[in-house]
Each structure stands twice: as C-alpha cells, then as structure tokens.
Amino acid sequence: MRKVNLKEKLGMFSDHWSPRIVGELNGQQVKLAKLKGEFIWHSHEDEDEMFFIVKGKLKIEFRDKTVEINENEFFIVPRGVEHKPIAEDEVHVMLFEPATTRHTGEEKHELTNNSQEFI
C-alpha cells in the first residue's frame, strides 16, 4: 500500500502523449499523462477509457460531436467509439483503463506507446 501524490508524479516527466502508470487495481491501471496538441483518431474495441482532468481543458472529438472536459471533470469514452483527444494548451490527465488496453487501439502511429513505465 502506498499513497500517491499527483503533483509529485506529474513533475517526474515532461513529454506529451506518453502515459505513466501510477497504480493498479482489479485489472485496471491508473495512469498520468501530459497532453498537448492533437492525438490521432483511434478506438479501443474491448475497453472503456476514463479521462479525469487534473489541470487544463481537454477536447475529445467524435465523428459527430466534440466534448470539452474541464479541470475536476471526467468523461468515459465507451468501448469501440472512435475518438481524437485535443489539448490546445498543456493538459494533465489521469486515465483509468484495463491493463490490456493498447495505447492507440489497432492504430499504429509514431505516438503509439504500448510500453508504458510504472513510476
């Protein structure tokens, strides 16, 4: 058992779109990431994905709408739904997703990182 300080963990890295694992529970991973700019269109066929905004504002584009998530809000992208996160300014986010979730689903891209480290 250990306590996790989000500010401390977020201070350990500066790169964008590369989540770090900070905890695990019941087959789920808790991840922290810094986001800036546009990510790629992708989906996770078998997993839901939860975005909790620690700092900043994140937009998630869907094919038919855009959802804006502000600090201290979260949004769950249902499994199989194609989405594209966009961070106009740097955003700090906590992600909750099954340990089996691949970073960009079936999509292969230079931003894909399926070897996320535990910090």
Q: Could you report the per-residue pLDDT of 30-50, keeping only the tens digit for each?
A: 999 999 999 989 998 888 989
- pTM for this model (two decimals): 0.85
3-class DSSP state of 10: helix
Per-domain boundaries in the chain: 6-98
The pLDDT of residue 100 is 78
Q: Tokens representing 20?
A: 């770090």
3-class DSSP state of 8: helix
Q: How far is CA 84 from CA 43, 44, 64, in A?
A: 9, 12, 12
Contact 74, 58 (CB under 8 A): no
Q: Tokens representing 98?
A: 């099954």
DSSP string, 41-56: -B--SS--EEEEEEES
6-98 maps to CATH 3.40.47.10: no
The pLDDT of residue 64 is 97
